[in-house]
Amino acid sequence: MGKKLVMGIIILFLLVMGTLSIRSAGRSADTGSGAGKGKVGVIQIKGALTETGSESILSATGSDAEKIMEEIRKAAKRDDIKALVLRINSPGGTSVAAQEVGIELDRFRKTGKPVVTSMGDVCASGGYWVACSSDRIIANPSTLTGSIGVIMEFSNLEGLYGKIGIREEVIKSGAYKDIGSSTRQLTADERVMLQNLVNDSYSQFLDQVTRGRKGKMTREEVTNIADGRIISGRQGKELGLVDDLGNYYDALAIARKMAHLENDSEVEVLNKPGIWETLVADVSAQRLLPQQGWQLRY
C-alpha cells in the first residue's frame, strides 16, 4: 500500500509538471500571457531587402519582400492581430523591394491597426523607407539609420579584359541597349540618362519620407539630410526621423497601447526563419564583389 501510494504521488507530480511544461512551451515568458485578448504581430526584416529570386539559395542572408508582404496581408486579415511591430535590422535593399513592402504596410494601416517600427543595429536606406510606412518609429540611441539616397553601380572592366585578351562584340538594336556594359566606359548621354533615373528614384524616396514624417518634418528638412549620410538613433530623434528612443520591448509596449491591448497581451513573431534559412544564413559566404548592375538600391 505504502509503495503504491509513494509511486502514485510521484506519477501524479510528474503528470502535473509534464502538462504545465507542455502548456508553457507554447509561449515564452516575454510573449505575454494574455492569450485570446488580441495579439501583437511581429515581422522581422533582417539583412538586405530583396525580391524573391534575386538571391541565390545559398545567400539567404536577407529578407524576401514577397514573403514579408504575404505575412503583412495575412496579419491584416487576422482578427486576433491588433497591431504590428516591424523589427528592422537592415541596411537597405533594392528600391522595388522597399516600395512593395511599404505599399503593403500602408494598406495594413488602412485597416485601422497600428504599425510600430523597432530599429535594431541598422535601419538605413531601404530599411528606413519601410519604417516610414509605420505610425511610430522607435530606435535605440546607437542604431544606425538615415542613408536616405539612391545608388546604382557598374564596374568598368575594360582595362582588365584588354590585359587578358577578351574583346566583347556587341550587336544591338539601339544606342542604349548595352548601357552599363562592363566592357566600356559610360558615354556622356548614358551618364545623364542614368543620373535622371537615380534622381527620379531619389525624388520618390523624398516623397516617402516626407509622407511618413508628415507633421514631424518638412520636405525641406528631409532634403537637407537626405544626402546619404548615416546618423545615430539619437541624432535621428533630434532631426525628426525617429519618434522615440527605446528597445524592442518599448516598441511592443507602444504597439499594445496604440491598439488598446493589455500590457501582457500575447506576441506572435509572424515570419520566423525556418531551420534551413537560419543554418544557411550562418554558413553562407558574403559576396566578394559589391552587388552591381541593373538595380536601383536604397
Partner 1 sequence: MVWSEVLYGVLFEPRATLRSLSIERPVIPAIVTFLAVAIFNLTVYRGIILKQSYAINDLEQFLWLYQIMGAVFSFFMLFVMAGLFSLLSELIFNKPNASGLLVCLGFSSLPGILGPALYYSAQIIDIQWLGVLCSLVIGVWMLVLQVLSLAEALELSTGQAVALFVLPGVFAAIALVLVIAIFALFGQGII
Query: In the complex, which residues of this chain contact partner 1 (CB under 8 A)?
Result: 3-4, 6-7, 10, 13-14, 17-18, 20-25, 27-31, 42, 44, 87, 248, 267, 269, 272-275, 278
* CB-CB contact of 269 with 44 (8 Å): yes
What is the separation of C-alpha 92 from the centre of its chain, rounded to a whole number of angstroms?
A: 8
Question: What is the closest distance, in whole angstroms, from the C-beta atom of residue 3 to partner 1 in the complex?
Answer: 5
Cβ-based nearer residue to partner 1, 44 or 208: 44
- Closest distance to partner 1 from the beta carbon of 119 (Å): 13
Q: Residue 60 Cβ, how far from partner 1 at the closest point, in Å?
A: 13
Q: Which is nearer to partner 1, 69 or 270 (CB)?
A: 270
Which amino acid makes up residue 117? T
Minimum distance, C-beta of residue 275 to partner 1, in the bound complex (Å): 6
Which of the residues 95, 125, 147, 201 is marked catalytic? Answer: 125
Q: Compare residues 42 and 68 and give the one whose CB is closer to partner 1.
A: 42
| Tally of CB atoms within 10 A around 140 | 21
Q: Between 2 and 112, whose beta carbon lies closer to partner 1?
A: 2
Residues 6+ apart with CB under 8 A from 1: none
- Please, which residues have CB within 8 angstroms of residue 230's CB and are 6 or more apart in sequence? 124, 144, 145, 146, 147
Residue 88, beta-bridge partner list: 45, 119
Whether 205 and 124 have beta carbons less than 8 Å apart is answered as: no
Could you confirm whether 125 is annotated as catalytic?
Answer: yes
Phi-psi region of 38 (alpha: psi -120 to 50; beta: other; left: phi over 0): left
Q: How far is the CB of 18 from partner 1 (least distance, A)?
A: 6
Alpha helix locations (H) across 49-94? 65-77
CB of 117 to partner 1, least distance (A): 14
Which residues fall within 8 angstroms of residue 103, CB to CB, at 6 or more apart? 133
- Please state, in angstroms and rounded to a whole number, the distance separating the CA atoms of residues 193 and 213: 30
Rounded to whole angstroms, the Cα distance separating 193 from 190 reads 5
Q: Which is nearer to partner 1, 71 or 100 (CB)?
A: 71
> Closest CB to partner 1 among 143 and 210?
143
The residue ranges of DSSP E strands in 47-174, in sequence order, are 49-50, 63-64, 81-90, 115-124, 136-139, 144-146
Contact by Cβ (8 Å): 145, 209: no
Active site residue 177: yes
Q: Which of 156, 97, 154 is nearest to 130 (CA)?
A: 97
Strand (E) or helix (H) holding 260: none
Q: Which positions are annotated as active-site residues?
A: 125, 177
